[in-house]
Amino acid sequence: MIRRGAERVLGGLAALGLLLGLYTGFCYAPPDAVQGEVQRIMYLHVPLILVSYLAFFVVFVTSILYLARRCERHDAIAHSSAEIGVLFTALAIAAGSIWGRPTWGTWWTWDARLTTTTILLLIFIGYLMLRALVDDPSRGATFSAVLGIIGFLDVPIIHMSVVWWRTLHQPASVLRPGPSTVAPDMQVALYTNLAAFVVLYGYFLVKRVRLEEARWELSRLRMEGAA
Amino acid sequence: MSFVRRVVAIARKDLLAEWRDRESFSAMFFFAFLVLFLFHFALGGDQALIRGASSGLLWLAFTFTSVLGLARSVQGELENDCLDGLLLYPAEREAIYLGKLLGNFLVILVVELVIFPLFAVLYNMDLWSRLPKLLLIAVPGTLGFAAAGTLLSTMTAGLRAREAMLPFLLFPLTIPLILSAVKGTEVVLRGDPFELAMPWLKLMAAFDTVILVASLLTFEYLVEE
Amino acid sequence: MPGPAPAVETRRLVKWYGGYPALRGIDLCVAPGEILALFGSNGAGKTTLLRILAGRVRPTAGTARVAGFEVGKGGDRARGAIGTLAHGHQLYETLTASENLAFAAAMLGLGRASERIAQVLLRVGLEAAAGSSVRTFSSGMKRRLALAKLMLRECKVILLDEPYASLDLQATKLLEEFLMASKIGGVTTILATHNLTMGFGVADRLAILRQGRLVFEGRRDETSLEAFRSLFSLHGELGDVE
């Protein structure tokens, strides 16, 4: 799919981006007036969440394409993207938890966004488990595609329901700064890290898809050999 | 027209087959009773606490019991290759899905209609006077749960860890539905004006629409080999 | 190509289940009104082939045409022209014989079928057991009921998977009569079986499937049962065949 050279460039860019992100996050951006240094976790937490939503969106689109065209590549991308999405979501939740502990003294809060993200994590862990349990690869791909589509379509509904549920109990929490509500030099750090993580996602995706495609190629060769 | 007849035929067949030996019904009833009974001990025998949490407890009872029914419904088709037989007829896949959905929906609804009075008796609550409004909430909630459950049970039916996989896939997806149903039920049980339940009804309607459309479009891919 | 279009035709049909090759390129041609007997041991691919022809399984590669429709593309209408008798009897145990048939009739799109149902029950000798739950049936009776289900309407192509299994003498005779009557009616039949003697007796054409490949195909009137039996043992599969 992508040549080795381009893959290396992507990897290099990702490493560079992460270094830049670390710099802007720790040095360039000022500490938060209220929360102090701990707030810097936002430069990790927010990009991770946003990129994982991107990853699940990719799962959604490639799932539809797979059902329509039955092209193995789409399934490979869906599977890989789901894995990366689950990883990033889990890391985002962990980062959020670490952020929350010193900030409000609790490891967990039933904040709307955190709850929605956790439900998303559960849905896509289920997605990966389903794949692992189905023996026939093309059936596994079909089942996962259906789950991927429904899971993603569910997300806005989940989000709305949890938000409505929470607004009766608590106002929007501090963990919810969008890029626009944040000071300009903090925005720089945020965007840099966001870009870095998008590139990192791209790099992981390329590598993982390459592995999946090697697997498909292997079974194709076996098929021809046996015929 | 024959589409509707096939849907009805499948639902009728499911209900008839179930009524004959009542295996599924009995299992669901006893399980529901057990769950309701256990709430007493889980909440430390505090009747006031239970009444306060009643909407949530009711829906816990409904959903856990439904999972039982959903799993057994598909099992019944896997015995003797009946699902295969079903798919060999010149019937549209959508009709098969809707037929199974209708059957599952009705079975779960009947069980709910038994759980309501059971709950009222065990925890000394007046649910009878509120029943019509409770049903107004219960019907869309049950429909959405049955729709997602019919789709997912078809997926998990042949798998190794199927007893665990069905709830593990079903519950995260249906959280918005369960949440809305609980909130709506809460409104009714507190005696609040029904308009307060409207946003929750709208959410359930949104969920039901999305899940039904998505299931109808994807079911045929699930059952072909 | 002279003659009428084949009722069943496959070209380089391949089916892989995961890493396992069930069918490795099948070329088959069955003319309308012919009866093809397909032999082979377990795992040879007979059931897979029949299920692909029935439109139940999607082939990995190759094409198949049945009753004028391309398999998988003809959709629901294609399935209407095909009748099947599968391995598992596909009956609902908690329902009665009549109820099973009534359900089948509704699914087949036959309106007002109670007369037809009574007719087929009579034909297979189950009219007395019409109101009994299938759970109480012997396996022979269940097979007869499955046959009755097949008889509910006229098909262009019939696919039978191990039809002689668990049939008593009377039911076997019934099946033979049914196959002959169908043949006269122009129905094309493919039956897969272990039973060399019975299959040979009723067929126009013979074929042997081994590990997903068609290793023999020929006309019945060009060979004898003994010759065919030795041909079959040549492929080393005689062990589980009668």
Contacting residues for A176 by C-beta, under 8 A, at least 6 apart: A111, A113
For residue C194, give how far its alpha carbon lies from the nearest alpha carbon of chain A (Å): 25
* Tens-digit pLDDT profile for residues B161-191: 888 899 999 999 999 999 999 999 999 998 8
Q: How far apart are CA A114 and CA A93, in angstroms?
A: 7
For B144, the token pair is 């959405």
What residue of A is the nearest CA neighbor of B224?
Answer: A139
Q: Which of A126, A142, A158 sits opposite B222 (nearest CB)?
A: A142
pLDDT at B20 over 60: yes
Residue of B nearest to A120 (CA): B172
Domain ranges, ordered by start, for chain A: 4-222
Residue-level length of chain B: 225
Between A137-167 and A42-69, two packed helices, what is the crossing angle to 10 degrees? Answer: 130
Number of domains in chain B: 1
Question: Both tokens of residue B122?
Answer: 């065990």
Residue among B161, B169, B211 whose CB faces A147 most closely:
B169
Q: Are residues C183 and C67 in the same domain?
A: yes
CA angle B154, C46, C222 (to 5 degrees): 160
C chain contacts of residue A132, beta-carbon cutoff 8 Å: none
Residue B137, H or E segment:
helix B131-156
Distance from CA of A71 to the nearest CA of C (A): 13
Q: Which of B59-63, B72-76, B130-134 has the lowest mean pLDDT?
A: B72-76
The pair of three-digit structure tokens given for residue C95, joined into one six-digit string: 């329902």
Sign, CA dihedral C137-C142-C144-C145, equals positive
Question: Do C68 and C163 reside in the same domain of the chain?
Answer: yes
Structural domain A4-222, CATH architecture: Up-down Bundle (1.20)
Looking at C136, C154, C172, the residue that finishes a domain is C154
CATH of the domain at C166: 3.40.50.300
- Of the candidates B51, B60, B66, the one whose C-alpha atom is nearest the C-alpha of residue B110 is B66
Residues near B89 by beta carbon (within 8 Å), at least 6 away in sequence: C79, C104, C107, C108
- In a shared domain, residues C115 and C217: no
Res. A39: pLDDT tops 80: no
Whole-angstrom distance, CA of residue B133 vs CA of residue B135: 5
In a domain, C88, yes or no: no
Q: Which of C50, C58, C8 is nearest to C29 (CA)?
A: C8
Q: Look at residue C145 in the predicted model and tell me its pLDDT.
A: 93
Nearest chain C alpha carbon to A223: C21
Q: pLDDT class for C17, splitting at 50, 70, 90?
A: confident
Whether residues C143 and C159 share a domain: the answer is no
Q: Which residue in B148, B169, B183 is closest to A130 by CB distance? A: B169
Q: Residue C188 above 90 pLDDT?
A: yes
pLDDT digits (tens, 9 = 90+) for A59-118: 999 999 999 998 888 999 999 999 999 999 999 999 888 887 887 778 887 878 888 899
How would you label B172-186 residue by residue, b for 16+ Cβ within 10 Å and e otherwise? Answer: bbbbbbbbbbbbbbb
Question: What is the residue range of B19's domain?
Answer: 2-223
User: What is the reported pLDDT for B94?
Assistant: 93
Any chain A CB within 8 A of the CB of B218?
yes
Taking an 8 Å cut-off on Cβ atoms, the answer to whether C24 and A226 are in contact is yes
Taking CB atoms and an 8 Å cutoff, what residues of chain B touch C51?
A: 225
Residue C213: closest CA among chain A residues belongs to which residue?
Answer: A227
Q: How many CB atoms lie within 10 A of CB C9?
A: 18
How many C-beta atoms lie closer than 10 Å to residue C113's C-beta?
Answer: 19
- What are chain A's partners, defined as 3 or more CB pairs within 8 angstroms? B, C
Please give the pLDDT value at position A219. 75
C43 C-beta neighbours (distance < 10 Å), count: 14
DSSP letter for each residue of chain A: ---HHHHHHHHHHHHHHHHHHHHIIIIISPPBTTTBGGGGGHHHHHHHHHHHHHHHHHHHHHHHHHHHH--HHHHHHHHHHHHHHHHHHHHHHHHHHHHHHHHHS-S----HHHHHHHHHHHHHHHHHHHHHH--SHHHHHHHHHHHHHHHHHHHHHHHHHHHHHHHTT-PPPTT---GGGS-HHHHHHHHHHHHHHHHHHHHHHHHHHHHHHHHHHHHHHHHHHH-
Name chain A contacts of C12, Cβ cutoff 8 Å: none
Q: Which residues of A touch C24 (CB under 8 A)?
A: 226-227
Chain A CB within 8 Å of residue C16 CB: yes
Whole-angstrom Cα distance, residue A22 to residue B180?
42
Chain C contact set for A136 (CB, 8 A) = 17-18
**B209–A contact, CB cutoff 8 A:** no
Kindly identify which residue of chain C lies nearest to residue A222, measuring between CA atoms: C19
CA pair distance C84, C78, nearest whole angstrom: 13
Rounded to a whole number of angstroms, the distance from the CA of A60 to the nearest CA of chain B is: 12
Which pair of tokens denotes residue A93? 């939740």
CB contact under 8 A, A157 and B207: yes
Out of A119, A142, A153, closest to residue B221 by CB: A142
Return d(Cα B17, Cα B11) in angstroms, integer.
Answer: 10
Q: State the best of B152, B153, B162, B175 to mutate against chain A, taking most chain A CBs within 10 Å.
A: B175
Burial class of residue A13, CB neighbours in 10 A (0-12, 13-18, 19+)? middle
Tell me the pLDDT of chain C averaged across its residues.
Answer: 87
Q: Which residue of C has its CA nearest to A141?
A: C18
Distance CA B60, CA B174 (A): 12
pLDDT score, position A85: 96
pLDDT at position C152 is 92
Give the tokens for residue B124: 């000394």
| Mean pLDDT of the B111-125 span | 90
- Residue B84 touches partner C, C-beta closer than 8 Å: yes
Mean pLDDT of C20-25: 88
Average model confidence (pLDDT) for chain B?
Answer: 90
Residue C74: which domain range?
8-81+155-240
Chain B residues touching A165 at Cβ < 8 A: 179, 183
Residues of chain C found within 8 Å of residue A137, distances taken between Cβ atoms: 18
Based on the fold, state whether residues C233 and C122 are members of the same structural domain: no
pLDDT tens-digit readout, C196-232: 888 888 899 999 998 889 888 889 888 888 888 888 8
Compute the C-alpha angle A15/A16/A18, nearest 5°.
Answer: 65
Tell me how close the Cα of A137 comes to any Cα of chain C, in angstroms: 6
Do residues B219 and B151 lie in contact, with contact meaning Cβ atoms separated by under 8 Å?
yes
Residue with tokens 């729709």: B147
Whether pLDDT at A46 is above 60:
yes
> Which ipTM score applies to this complex?
0.89
Q: How many CB atoms sit inside 10 A of residue A210's CB?
A: 15
Q: What is the pLDDT of residues A215-224, one digit of tens each?
A: 878 877 877 7
Question: B45 in contact with A at a CB cutoff of 8 Å?
Answer: no
d(CA C71, CA C84) in angstroms, rounded, equals 15
d(CA B75, CA C17): 23
Mean local confidence (pLDDT), C127-133: 91
Nearest Cβ partner of A158 from B161, B176, B200?
A: B176
pLDDT value at B141 more than 80: yes
Tell whether the model's pLDDT for residue C172 goes beyond 60. yes
pLDDT tens-digit map of C42-74: 888 899 999 999 888 888 889 999 988 888 776
- Residue C207 or A5, more confident: C207
Q: Which residues of C touch B89 (CB under 8 A)?
A: 79, 104, 107-108
Contact A133 B160 (CB under 8 A): yes
In B, residues 49-68, which contact C (CB 8 Å cutoff)?
none
Residues C23 and C142 in one domain: no
How many domains does one find in chain C?
2
Which of A146, A164, A166 to mutate to test binding with chain B, by most B CBs within 10 Å of its CB?
A146
Cβ of B159 under 8 Å from any chain A Cβ? yes
CB C39 within 8 A of CB C232: yes
Partners of A223 on chain C (C-beta within 8 Å) are 14, 16, 21, 60
Contact criterion met (CB below 8 Å) for C157 and C187? yes
Between C50 and C75, residue with greater pLDDT: C50
Chain A with chain C: Cβ pairs closer than 8 A: 17
pLDDT bin (cut points 50, 70, 90) of residue A51 is very high
> What residues of chain A lie within 8 A of the CB of B225, using their CB?
139
CB B134 within 8 A of CB B185: yes
Of B180, B203, B214, the CB nearest to A150: B214
When scoring A120, A154, A162 by the number of chain B Cβ atoms within 10 A, the one with the most, hence best to mutate, is A154
C175 shares a domain with C67? yes
Q: What is the pLDDT of residues A117-172, one digit of tens each?
A: 999 999 999 999 999 998 888 889 999 999 999 999 999 999 888 888 877 544 44
